[in-house]
Each structure stands twice: as C-alpha cells, then as structure tokens.
Amino acid sequence: MSGLRYVYAICRPLEAPLQAQLTGVAGAPAKPLHHHGLVAVVSEVPEQDFTEDALRAHLEDLDWLAATARAHQGVIDALTVVTTPLPLRLATVFRDDSGVRSMIEAREEHFLRTLDRLSGRVEWGVKVYLESEGQESEPAAERPAPKAASGRDYLRQRRQQTRASEDLWQRAETFATALHEKLAAFAEDTRLHAPQNATLSGAAGRNVLNAAYLVPRDRSEEFVELVDRTKDDAPGLRVELTGPWAAYSFAGELPEEERA
C-alpha cells in the first residue's frame, strides 16, 4: 500500500472474517490491521484527497461528504454485525501502518476498557417529531385569520393562536419526556442530542426529541417493541427509530470514574 491509511474503527480480533469485498471510502477495500491484541480496520486512501487542505475543501462539498460518510458508516455497519466496533470519527487518517500501530499502543488501555464496557451493546436512535403545527387537531390555526376589525379583535386572535400552539408544544414535551423516561429505564445508558434541522434531514415536522439509547443487542427486540407500542399514543406526533448503530454516542468519552 502506498497511499494514506484511513481508520474506521478499533475492535477485538474478529472471530468471523470480514465480508470478502468490504468497500470503504474512495472505493478501496477495508482490511483488518492486527496489533497488540487489537484490530484497526483500515483502508488505503489517495494522498491527493486526504491531505489537510484537500480534506478541508472536500468537507465543503456535500456530494463528497455524503458519499464518504455513507462509506464510513457502511464499514462500521458491517463490523457491527460481527463484533462490537469502536467507531472513530470521520476522516481519521495516518501516513502509514506504523502510524496506526503507534496510535493503538498509545491508547491500548483505553480501547480495551471501552470495548469491555460496550461489548455486545448497540445504539438505537429515537426521534420525536411534532407534525406540522396546526394539522387536524388545530384547524383554526391553519386557516388564514379573518381580518381584525379592531385592535381588540387582533389581540384576541393572537392570543388564540398562541394558546393553540402552546397546547401542542406542551403535549409534545410531555409525550417526549415520558417516552424518554420509559426508554431510559430500559436502556443501559442514554444521550440526548440536539434536535435535527429539518432542512438537512428532509424529515417532515419539527424534531422535539433526538436521543440515543445503549441497549444489549440481545435485548434489542424488546426495545424495538417498546418503541413501537408508543407510536400510536400521540396524535400529531411522530416517533422514528433508527438502528442498530455501533455505539457512536457512547464510545467517544471517558467512563464515569475518569470524568471530573
């Protein structure tokens, strides 16, 4: 190999082989690199696309970013089927294999601890959306308000509109809080993420809850059923489930006892 090394994940040695043609970013096959009882999953990437300047430019190209992100996630997904990978952040790049080996040595203990903590666990994403405000339940808010005849009329209309959307928000918040508490009680760990911007996700409605749950893989079916059962509980709200993901949201930080 003569290009740079793109590292996707760190994991323990695989018992089952990786699928024969696991294509990574830039179309090159992803392969395991064994060192010190750990495995880095790497692929070769062309130097001209992955130097600092080239990367900075590429990250501003949505097509390139999307393709690279999907390829990165594709490799992580394939690994999640056969082991518990520690997913690295996009575009973690080394000059050569020896750079990757030094990195493993420097962080060996931390990797092993995190792998133990996450072993056999997957991440599920749950989002709650408030369907476009003023649907069905609030037909009055949808209709263009009749022209206010006076300042008093105008004020009254404004109050009604505000009250209707406050009710909707209150309901969404109550529902999201209850759902999160229920799922958190089932999961081993949770993270609340910032709500997604609808324009990037392309999802309809307003994102009011965006959370990740760490769940043992063999209890995933129960978790999915738990989420499914809540879906019809709230008219005007939509619950979306994604996963199973590698434990992205739980791999990046130090365990409890090492914080503070």
Partner 1 sequence: MTTPSRLPDTYGPSSGANLADILERVLDKGVVIAGDIRINLLDIELLTIKLRLVVASVDKAKEMGIDWWESDPALSSRARRDELARENAELRERLARLEELGLEKGAERTGRTLPKEAP
The reply to whether 62 sits near partner 1 by the rule CB under 8 A is: yes
Nearer to partner 1, 96 or 174 (CB): 96
- Closest among 202, 210, 200, 212 to 247, alpha carbons compared: 212
Site for partner 1 in 215-234 (CB under 8 A): 217, 220-221, 224
Candidates 8-16, 133-141, 176-184, 228-236; binding stretch for partner 1 (CB under 8 A):
8-16
- CB of 235 vs partner 1, minimal distance in Å: 21
Joined tokens for residue 57: 């430019």
Least distance to partner 1, CB of residue 136, Å: 23
Q: Near partner 1 by CB under 8 A, which window of 26-34, 50-58, 133-141, 176-184?
A: 50-58
Q: In this structure, how many other beta carbons lie within 10 angstroms of the beta carbon of residue 213?
A: 26
Tell me if 189 sits within 8 A of 250, measured CB to CB.
Answer: yes
The sign of the torsion formed by the CA atoms of 157, 160, 166, 171 equals negative
Binding mask 190-209 for partner 1 (x = CB under 8 A): ---x--xx-xxxxx------
C-alpha 78 chain-centroid distance = 16
Tokens of 94: 């080394």
Q: Which of 187, 141, 189 is nearest to 165 (CA)?
A: 141
3-state secondary structure of 31: strand
Task: Between 10 and 172, name the residue whose CB sits nearer to partner 1.
Answer: 10
CB 111 within 8 A of CB 86: yes
| Span 111-170, contacts to partner 1 by CB under 8 A | 114-116, 119-120, 125, 150-152, 154-156, 158
Which of 2, 20, 21, 56 lies at the binding interface for partner 1 (CB under 8 A)?
56
Binding segment toward partner 1, per CB under 8 A, in 28-36, 48-56, 133-141, 181-189 = 48-56
